[in-house]
């Protein structure tokens, strides 16, 4: 093996001798990259940039400081997890019509993996994100970005609305629990005051009757509120944006709950269900009945939500009047040690109950605003129709092939020279520590064959 440390003249001589080992890998690599740059499938890229505005409604489940922090930091939480999730990828494939009629499980998984690699994301700060999609055609690239942004926004709103619904349900349950304790303590207080009725003027004894009437009104309105909440639970679970997922059997329960537009909704359900048994979904009469049904569902949900808030406000007003009457009777009774304990419990539960009412109202406000949460997402850079392919990058591939071919060609020529044991110069003799005893002149025609 020869010593590879030599100068420029020796390098030039080596390259002349090793032209073939140098040119073969160089030509192969350079030609492969050049041909690949022109025959590879073209990929067009389309991108969109979206700003997520801060949530103006704080979470009533946490403290003020923590709610502000969550509202600021949680805007792009789980951004990549949502974009690259399997349901989103499958929805994108369906929207682009990439599914084949006869597709095996392995082919489906390969398609999902390929589509996932075609998506790139970038987060610019805490409130701006970019989605890019590569596709064989400009139209598909643009459409893919639009679908991805819509799916992400829809998923984010679904998550947020679920949180808001959970907050409303939590505070409703807590309010009902405190209402029971509050009414129990109130009944104890009223019972105690009845024992001291002799101390109450005759004109004030009518207050007990008035308090009983208030309790009956509250029970009646509470029953209506319970029906409204059940109806809203069904309506909120119904995805009006995707009518195919609507469960007609569940919707038949809504008119029985006495909600607004209940009779009209029942008639629309009967009409749509009857037509659906006779004709296909695309029959004009069926489509008209479906449109009418969806319109009634949206109208009923909106009016029911407004009615629920009105009924709750009505209860609060009645409770306010009832508490005022109780306070009047309370002042007229004779106080004792036991009476003070009853009054203390009443005042404690009254404070907790009023505080829970405020939190429930905050949660319902958050839910109402969350239904219009799509306004938080502002498209700064809408997806444009690309005019030039983004892949393959021809100059880059040709340049990379040139550089890689040169490197591999030089490496091949160098290895061929190193492992060549023939002696051509005095430097080759020095490797064996032997003296030079003679030089032979080069003969025309012989030196070419000697190489």
d(CA 357, CA 351): 10
Strand 128-135: give its sheet, edge to edge: 119-123, 128-135, 44-52, 377-381
d(CA 79, CA 166): 22
Is the confidence at residue 286, as pLDDT, over 80? yes
> To the nearest whole percent, how much of the chain has pLDDT over 90?
7
Q: What is the mean pLDDT of residues 284-308?
A: 85
pLDDT score at 134: 92
pLDDT score at 448: 47
pLDDT-derived band at 404 (thresholds 50, 70, 90) equals: very high
Convert the pLDDT of each residue in 13-27 to its tens digit: 778 888 888 889 889
Is the confidence at residue 92, as pLDDT, over 80? yes
pLDDT score at 381: 86
Convert the pLDDT of each residue in 126-150 to its tens digit: 778 899 999 989 999 999 999 998 8
Contacts of 389 (CB under 8 A, 6+ apart): 42, 43, 44
Is the confidence at residue 307, as pLDDT, over 80? yes
Is the confidence at residue 241, as pLDDT, over 80? no
pLDDT-derived band at 450 (thresholds 50, 70, 90) equals: very low
Is-above-0.85 flag for pTM? no
Q: Which of 127, 154, 193, 135 is nearest to 333 (CA)?
A: 193
Alpha-carbon Rg for the chain, nearest whole angstrom, is 40
Q: Which of 27, 38, 53 is nearest to 369 (CA)?
A: 53
pLDDT score at 145: 92
Convert the pLDDT of each residue in 411-430 to its tens digit: 888 888 777 767 666 666 66
Sequence length of the chain is: 451
Q: How far is CA 358 from CA 42, 185, 247, 312, 361, in A?
A: 59, 21, 35, 11, 5
HEC string for the chain? CCCCCCCHHHHHHHHHHCHHHHHHHHHHHHHHHHHHHHHCCCEEEEEEEEEECCCCCCCCCCCHHHHHHHHHHCCCCCHHHHHCCHHHHHHHHHHHCCCCCCCCHHHHHHHHHHHHHCEEEEECCCCEEEEEEEECCHHHHHHHHHHHHHHHHHHHHHHHHHHHHHHHHHHHHHHHHHHHHHHHHHHHHHHHHHHCHHHCCHHHCHHHHHHHHHHHHHHHHHHHHHHHHHHHHHHHHCCCCCHHHCCHHHHCCCHHHCCCCHHHHHHHHHHHHHHHHHCCCCCHHHHHHHHHHHHHHHHHHHHHHHHHHHHHHHHHHHHHHHHHHHHHHHHHCCCCHHHHHHHHHHHHHHHHHHHHHHHHHHHHHHHHHHCCHHHHEEEEECCCCCCCCCECCHHHHHHHHHHHHHHHHHHHHHHHHHCCCCCCCHHHHHCCCCCCCCCCCCCCCHHHHHC
pLDDT score at 205: 56
Q: How far is CA 51 from CA 84, 123, 128, 136, in A?
A: 19, 10, 5, 28
Contacts of 145 (CB under 8 A, 6+ apart): 46, 47, 48, 131, 132, 133, 383
pLDDT score at 132: 92
pLDDT score at 451: 46
d(CA 255, CA 340): 48
Q: Which two tokens stand for residue 372?
A: 């219009």
- Cβ–Cβ < 8 Å for 193, 329: yes
Is the confidence at residue 75, as pLDDT, over 60? no
pLDDT score at 72: 42
Q: Between these two residues, 424 and 304, which has the higher pLDDT value?
A: 304
pLDDT-derived band at 119 (thresholds 50, 70, 90) equals: very high
Angle (deg, nearest 10), helices 138-195 and 284-332? 30
Q: How far is CA 347 from CA 82, 334, 342, 359, 406, in A?
A: 48, 17, 9, 19, 89
Is the confidence at residue 445, as pLDDT, over 60? no
Q: What is the torsion angle, in degrees rounded to the nearest 10, for the CA atoms of residue 128, residue 134, residue 140 and residue 146? A: -10
Q: Between these two residues, 390 and 68, which has the higher pLDDT value?
A: 390
Convert the pLDDT of each residue in 192-230 to its tens digit: 666 655 555 555 556 667 777 888 888 888 888 888 888
Is the confidence at residue 409, as pLDDT, over 80? yes
pLDDT score at 1: 45
Mean pLDDT score of the chain: 77
pLDDT score at 105: 83
Q: What is the mean pLDDT of residues 106-113?
A: 88
Contacts of 3 (CB under 8 A, 6+ apart): 427, 431
d(CA 322, CA 209): 11
pLDDT score at 287: 84
pLDDT score at 66: 42
Pairing of strands 119-123, 128-135: antiparallel
- Cβ–Cβ < 8 Å for 119, 131: yes
pLDDT score at 102: 62
pLDDT-derived band at 371 (thresholds 50, 70, 90) equals: low
pLDDT score at 173: 83
pLDDT score at 108: 87
Convert the pLDDT of each residue in 247-272 to its tens digit: 777 788 887 778 888 888 888 888 88
Q: Which of 64-68, 100-104, 121-125 has the lowest mean pLDDT?
A: 64-68
């Amino acid at each position: 093996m020869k010593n590879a440390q030599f100068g420029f003249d020796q390098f030039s001589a080596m390259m002349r001798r090793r032209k073939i080992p140098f040119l073969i890998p160089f030509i192969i690599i350079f030609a492969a990259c050049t041909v690949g740059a022109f025959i590879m499938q073209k990929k067009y890229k389309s991108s969109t940039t979206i700003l997520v505005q801060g949530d103006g409604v704080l979470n009533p489940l946490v403290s003020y400081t923590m709610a502000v922090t969550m509202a600021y930091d949680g805007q792009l939480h789980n951004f990549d997890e949502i974009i690259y999730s399997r349901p989103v990828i499958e929805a994108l494939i369906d929207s682009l019509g990439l599914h084949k009629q006869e597709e095996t499980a392995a082919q489906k998984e390969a398609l999902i993996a390929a589509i996932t690699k075609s998506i790139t994301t970038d987060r610019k700060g805490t409130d701006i994100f970019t989605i890019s999609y590569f596709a064989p055609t400009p139209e598909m690239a643009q459409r893919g970005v639009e679908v991805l942004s819509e799916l992400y926004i829809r998923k984010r709103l679904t998550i947020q609305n679920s949180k808001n619904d959970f907050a409303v349900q939590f505070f409703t349950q807590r309010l009902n629990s405190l209402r029971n304790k509050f009414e129990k303590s109130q009944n104890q207080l009223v019972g105690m005051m009845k024992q001291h009725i002799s101390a109450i003027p005759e004109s004030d004894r009518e207050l007990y009757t008035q308090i009983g009437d208030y309790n009956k009104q509250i029970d009646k309105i509470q029953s209506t509120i319970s029906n409204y909440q059940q109806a809203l639970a069904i309506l909120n679970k119904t995805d009006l944006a995707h009518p195919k997922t609507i469960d007609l059997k569940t919707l038949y329960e809504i008119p029985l709950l006495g909600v607004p537009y209940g009779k009209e909704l029942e008639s629309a359900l009967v009409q749509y269900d009857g037509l659906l048994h006779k004709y296909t979904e695309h029959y004009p009469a069926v489509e008209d009945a479906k449109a009418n049904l969806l319109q009634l569902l949206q109208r009923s949900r909106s009016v029911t939500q407004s009615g629920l808030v009105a009924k709750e406000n009505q209860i609060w007003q009645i409770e306010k009047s009832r508490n005022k009457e109780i306070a009047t009777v309370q002042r007229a009774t004779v106080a004792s040690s036991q009476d003070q304990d009853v009054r203390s419990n009443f005042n404690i539960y009254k404070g907790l109950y009023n505080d829970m009412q405020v939190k429930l109202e905050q949660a319902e406000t958050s839910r109402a605003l969350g239904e219009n949460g799509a306004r938080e997402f502002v498209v700064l850079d809408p997806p444009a129709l690309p005019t030039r392919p983004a892949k393959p990058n021809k100059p880059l591939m040709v340049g990379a092939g040139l550089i890689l071919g040169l490197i591999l060609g030089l490496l091949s020529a160098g290895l061929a020279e190193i492992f060549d044991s023939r002696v051509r110069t005095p430097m080759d003799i020095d490797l064996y520590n032997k003296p030079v005893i003679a030089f032979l002149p080069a003969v025309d025609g012989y030196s070419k064959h000697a190489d």
